[in-house]
Every structure is written in structure tokens, then in C-alpha cells.
Chain A
């Protein structure tokens, strides 16, 4: 069995996220699809829609996803009608995207599909369930690592990170960025289940909240948590956890650190690791000064897939790239194209 199949063997839902556009995420996806051919019936969907047919920055035609006959796909109506498989409409989901309702179809032939799934966690989870019920052995989710969607790879049982030369002309830079992303995505989940419960109930109604030792809590209703440093600083007294909905930015963390040192020993809880949009510097500074990051929903990162070739016309030494990453990352690292 191929390495990748071995890795995903025990999971029912697997998401693939890319560090940036053109990083080779679709290549990774196609690699898995080709390896699974004849072995697994796959279900496919995506978190929202990842860009256009042509990348708007580089104007490179994006590789398309090629599926095997018998696969199930969940995608928006418009995207489905763009797909060139012979398609059987199985069921409509009642979930709507800007490209129409999400439809579940079966591929009656091999062919290219265009994926545009729901962008809400709950809907993705339901779509995955449906795909499994219909007979998919595994569901692959074309994920996103962006601020644009509310949904996150944490809905899947396992996540694959895709990185590549497109990130920077300088390989060391790319390695550094990748290593840090892996570190961020691997942030531990909050273990105290009581805290998790309280945090979830805070997030049901508010975007910011504070949990005290006694597990009593305070919710703050604000339009967005991005600019909430003032509220955080004002409320830090005797707090054990700060619960933040949505994105956590450098500015927020820096503003908090500038105004108080009461954050020391306090856990900042994010919904999941993709909500942390932090520079390595900020992240380290915060942790060194005694701040703690935890997430409510962990991401189970199982491997990193690399693409040493940039569509911008340069490439790295494949072996060197692999070696450097392997040295720093405590996870399997593969080269999709090179086959190791």
C-alpha cells in the first residue's frame, strides 16, 4: 500500500489545506485520488470555493480535480454543471452557496470535477455524513487556510498540510514558514472539559468571554473580537481563560501585551488553530511572557506534502527541501511529485 493510503487508513474524513495559493494542493488531492483508485470509494467536497479556474494573481490555469467513476461529490449546482463527469444527481442538500445549492452527485464516468462545498462547519459535517452514508469509504475535503471561510479543517478527523516552493524564492524562508504553520496547527486542545463546555456556551451568544477559576464566566457582546484588546485588558483580573471567537491577529495580541501583564498564566482559547493569524515573533513573545494558546477544536495534522516546483518558474532542490523539513517537523513529510 502506498504511504499516503497507509497514513489515511484509519480516518473517515480527511481534509487537505494549502499554505498558500498554487502551493500544489490540488496536485496532492489528485495524488491521493489516483492512489485510492480501485481501493476506496471516495466522497469529495470542499470548504467553500477556492478561487477561480485561473489564478487571479499569476494567471496560471489551476490544475483540476480528476475523479474516478463511482466517486461521490458534494458541490454547488453551478460547479457541478461545470464538471465533465457523466453525473447522476443523488440528492439535494438544502445548503446554499453563492454558486447555488450543494448537490450530491455520483460520477458515472471518470472526469474533472469542480468543487464548491458549504462554508459552514455544521453543513460540511452533515455533507460528510451524507457522503459516507451513500457509500463513500472516505471523504476528502478540499480545505482552506484562510480568513474568508468560517469553516475549518477541524471538522475532519485528519488533516494534510500542503506546502511548496511558491511560498518564497528562498527555500529557508519556506521551510521556516512551514515549520511555524505546523506548530500553530498543532496547538493543543483545552483539556479541561468543564472549561470547554463553558467556552462553547459563551461562543453560542458572544464573540468574547472570560472564564474564572470557579468556572463562572462573563460574556462580552461586541461586533467583532479583532479589535477587542481594550475589553480583554479591562477584564483580565482573576481570569483563567479568555475565549475569542474568530480570528486572533498580531495586533490584538500585541495590544494586550503592551497594556498589561495580567495575561501571564492566562489561556487564550481560539475556536481552532486556523483562527490564529500570528507572526512567529508575536507567537513566541506571547508564550515566552507566560501567555498560553489553546484551541477548542484540535486539528489532527497527519502529514505534510511538499511541492518543490513553483509555477512562477523556479524550483528547489527536492532532496534538500525534504531533508530540511523532516529535520524540523515531527510528522511524515512527502514529495508528491517526486514520490517520496
Chain B
């Protein structure tokens, strides 16, 4: 897969769970795999094409639900399809195809015919998956019209071949009946002479067949493309069905709306631990949106989820949400330190700065989406806060959409949207503390269970919540919390 780094780096795609989603795609044929390998984000001027792709997935998805049995049959055929691209290439180069290659082309045509009738029965309005008839190719490779996949250089191809084989068979009969060693050797020598002639004749026939097949190369290639498209669209539709994907709306404003969007990778990890993923809903407009909230509150997951779904959407996949709307995006960026690199301190900050510079170039040229996950968290808090504030204000002036998560106070300005993780806001602390006191060993888990991961839009001047202090309190750091609260009073 060669996706431009304007749509995340390979590392970034791994981080947000994109590779996980791709690995979940059930692409079956070598041709479907080729389609997957060559995916690219749709460009601004390809909006119509992108919408068409969504429509195709939609009708494929509906059809999958409706014609389950037929799809099962189609699946069985797809599993039998082999790669004949090299033979077509050789044929085009004027080379002579061998018996096995001719067999494979015949098999491909037989399967292609079976698929053609089945796909027609699906009555899908998808131009790309229309298969062409391969009957004329079959007539060529199946002169006896038995329509079975076995293939040999048939006697029907040439009278001379038929004669030679008859002669060969006669000598073989004599060899079988002969008991004298020298006579057998003599007959075998004679047989070899006929074998050579047979093979010469066969070669001439293979050459003729290869030349004739050249005239059908276009049909074969069109069907290869159609099968690849069908396979890939089916995989996309199945994936959407598996995780609740929906057709996104492409808007002409600069806004992003997600209702209950999820991240399959995180969802599956939580599921394996017996936990649930809290879907995310938010609306982002042109400029900067700031996301604040408690530690452990899932801010990074939110950024990953939004980025993942936008990337998928731009690549022509359904998005995993109840509703989704976004504009055509010229780029999608995601900047987040992963935990391992936190210890690298300045070097990771340096990498962030370099990435930010790239982003600042991109926002000047187009409209895209930028997710910044607690950037500059490794620097000293005062400098860090200033940098984050400056970046969010600067990006607020461009016609791109930035979603920035931060711990720092005072980043949000009046003309920015501010989301907060609900966190422990609505929790009865007395009860929670009691629960934890009774079950010290699982305190972190109990805390996570009470964490509300949903987002709420708050006043731009709403303070960063003091959940950190609350967490300290609940986990038993009362003495320190008391002191800390005194500092707060002083500040005020």
C-alpha cells in the first residue's frame, strides 16, 4: 500500500488502528488484493467518484443481507480463482503458453462464467463489476464443449496430431505385449521418434492458441478488474456490516460531524477484556477545537478514532459511526507521542516540531484535518502551554479543522469550540471511595468503570477539570491533596 504521507505516516496509521482495520478486510482473490494494494485517498476533484464508491458499497451491503445464499456460492468461486496475470503478460509478449497456463485460463473462464450469472442475479447497479462473456475463449480451449476444467491439447486441434497419437498408442501396445528385451528397446526408440513429432505438433498448436488468445486479452483483463472490484467492494461491505459502518455524507462546508463513532481496534481490545467502548460524538468546525479532560479519560482514543474514520472515509470506505459528515480533505495529520518515545524527551519534541512545520505548510495550501494529541507535553509546563496556545490560535485562522487535546489551562479562546471528557464529574465520590476502599487491589479498574468517556461541549472558558486531584483523593493520597488545594486557594 503506498498512501501519501499527507494522509499519515506508516507509523501514524499503525497508531490509530488503520492497519488493524485493513487486516480485518476479507479480500479473497489475487485481483481483490491488487485493488486493496493500490488504494489512494480520493482527491478533491474526485468527489463524484468517491460518492459513487460509497453508493456501490451501500448496494453491496444491502445485497449481502438479502442474498446470503447466493453470496455464499460466489464466495466459493472466488476462493478458486487463481492469478493468470503473468500468463496474459506472456501472451502479450508473443510467448507461447504451456498446457498448465492454458488450463488456468480455461479454469478462469469457467469460473468467470459461473460468477457472471450469479452476479447478474444480484441485480446490482455497479458498473465496475460487470463481467464480459468468455464463451468464445472457452470454445477455443474446450473444443469438445464439455465445459469441465481439465485441459489437454485435444486431438480436435489437428488431424496430424490425432494420427501421431494413434501411431504412438499402437507402438505402446506393442511394447506392452513384447517380452524380448532388445525388441522392447527397439520399439521404445521408435516410440521416441513419434513422441518428438507429437511434441512438435503440440507446440505449434500451443503457439496458435496463444496467438488467438491475444485477441481476448482485453476481455480477460476486464474480467480480472471486475472480479477484483467485486471482491474488494464485498470486503468493504462486510467490514461495514461487522462494525456498523455507515455511508458518510460529504459536505461542502468545512465541518466534521460524527455521531457515535467507534474505533474497531480499541473496541476489540476492550471487548476481549469484557469492557465496552463508549462511542464518540462531536462536531468540529473550521479552525481549532480543543479537547480537555481527565487523565485516563480517553482523549487519545478520541483523536485516534476521529482520524481513523476520516482516513477510511477518504480512502473510499464506510466509516464506523451512526452518522458522519465531512468535507473532501486534502490531508489528514495525526501527531501523538506514543508512550515508548516519551522517555526520549527533547528528541521526540524535536520530531513533533518537524511534523508541525510540515502541517503548517499543508494548511496554507488546502483544507484538511489535523489531530494534535497533547503536543509539547514533554517540555516544561510554562513553555509548553505557550507553544500549545500559539499553535491552536495560529491554526484557528486557517480553513482546516484542528482537533487538539491538552492538559494545559487557558488554551481555549472565545472563537474556538471546547469539548471536555465528562470523566468523573457526575460521580458520587463518597460512594466511589468506599467501593475502592473495600477492594484496594482493583482500584484502577473500578475507577475506569466509573469514568464517563463521553464528550460534552462546554463553555470556552470552562476550566480544565480537576479530576487529577479527585483521582489522587480516591486512591488515598489525601494528605497531598490537602496541600495541593491550599495552593489552588492561594492562586485564586
A residues whose Cβ falls under 8 Å from a Cβ of B: 37, 69, 77, 80-81, 84, 86-92, 101, 103, 106, 108-111
Contacts and interface: CB of A to CB of B under 8 A. Distances in A.
22 contacts: A37-B176, A69-B169, A80-B100, A86-B165, A86-B198, A88-B151, A88-B152, A89-B99, A89-B100, A89-B102, A89-B103, A89-B151, A89-B152, A91-B149, A92-B103, A92-B104, A103-B100, A106-B150, A109-B168, A110-B172, A110-B175, A111-B172
B82 interface: yes
User: Which 6 residue pairs spanning A and B have beta carbons closest together?
Assistant: A89-B103, A88-B152, A110-B172, A84-B195, A89-B151, A90-B150
Interface in B97-118: 98-100, 102-104
B195 A111 contact: yes
Given A84-B199, A88-B151, A92-B103, 18 more contacts: A37-B176, A77-B98, A80-B100, A81-B98, A86-B165, A86-B168, A86-B198, A89-B99, A89-B150, A91-B150, A92-B82, A92-B100, A92-B104, A103-B100, A108-B152, A109-B165, A109-B172, A111-B195
Contacts, number: 50
Contacts of A89: 99-100, 102-103, 150-152
Interface in B158-214: 165, 168-169, 172, 175-176, 192, 195, 198-199
Interface of B: 82, 98-100, 102-104, 149-153, 165, 168-169, 172, 175-176, 192, 195, 198-199
B152 A86 contact: yes
A81 B169 contact: no
Between A37, A90, A106, the greatest number of chain B beta carbons within 10 A of the residue's beta carbon is seen for A90
B339 to A, nearest CB: 29
Nearest to A68: B176
A77 B149 CA distance: 17
B105 to A, nearest CB: 11
A248 to B, nearest CB: 40
Contacts of B172: 69, 109-111
Between A37, A77, A88, A101, the greatest number of chain B beta carbons within 10 A of the residue's beta carbon is seen for A88
A106 B151 CA distance: 10
Given A86-B152, A86-B165, A89-B152, A110 B100 contact: no
Nearest to B102: A89
Nearest to A94: B82
Given A84-B195, A87-B99, A92-B104, A110 B176 contact: yes
Contacts of B153: 86
Contacts of B168: 86, 109
A240 B5 CA distance: 58
A91 B165 CA distance: 23
Contacts of B98: 77, 81
A81 B199 CA distance: 10
Contacts of B169: 69, 109-110
B104 A81 contact: no
Between B82, B102, B103, the greatest number of chain A beta carbons within 10 A of the residue's beta carbon is seen for B103
Contacts of B176: 37, 110
A4 to B, nearest CB: 18
Nearest to B82: A92
B247 to A, nearest CB: 37
